[in-house]
Amino acid sequence: MGLKAKYKTEIVPALMKSLGCKNVMDVPRLLKVTLNMGFNASMDKDQIKTISDDLGRITGQKAVITKARKSISNFKLRQGMPVGAKVTLRGDRMYDFLERLIHAALPRIRDFRGLPVRGFDGRGSYTFGLQEQTIFPEIDPDDVKKVQGMNVTIVTSASTDARARELLTMTGIPFAKPHK
């Protein structure tokens, strides 16, 4: 059973019970997942294309190159220079990506003890960083010339961090156990 079907059949009733929701529409849901890779302003076009292709291979959707909004001389950055690549996933692609992240990518991280709990923003969104793109099965480690990290943001319709954490825990996101 896919994550989307599991959400509808198992997670929604469980959340209604645990959060005390009377209406199905009150139950928090996943809205989108955004992946973002930032890179050096000094990178050449081939490296930028390779990194954006990796991001596209990971998500199954073409990455958008983000450009600098203003010039910063200390960073040798000019307005309009490429500074990153991003992908926003919604719907079925979002659920497919989260399923691959939870079951295939995160277990491949060496010494993985769970994702940090401090990544919530106060409005129900959760952000965490990944050190390298090679943890995804779609990326062949032999082909990677430069290891690149990325930020993953999961946006939910939850109004508080506690409700968002409950939703993400039930979907299978492994959070780190608090230290005692």
pLDDT per position as a tens digit, 77-135: 788 888 889 999 999 999 999 998 888 888 888 888 888 888 888 888 999 988 887 78
8 A C-beta contact, residue 27 and residue 19: yes
Whether the model clears a pTM of 0.85, i.e. scores above it, the answer is: yes
* CATH 3.40.50.150 for domain 29-171: no
Taking only Cα atoms into account, the Rg of the chain, rounded to an integer number of angstroms, comes to: 18
Domain residues of the chain, as ranges?
29-171
Cα angle for residues 138, 9, 25 (degrees, 5° grid): 105
**Pairwise CA distance, residues 55 & 57, whole Å:** 5
pLDDT of residue 180: 59
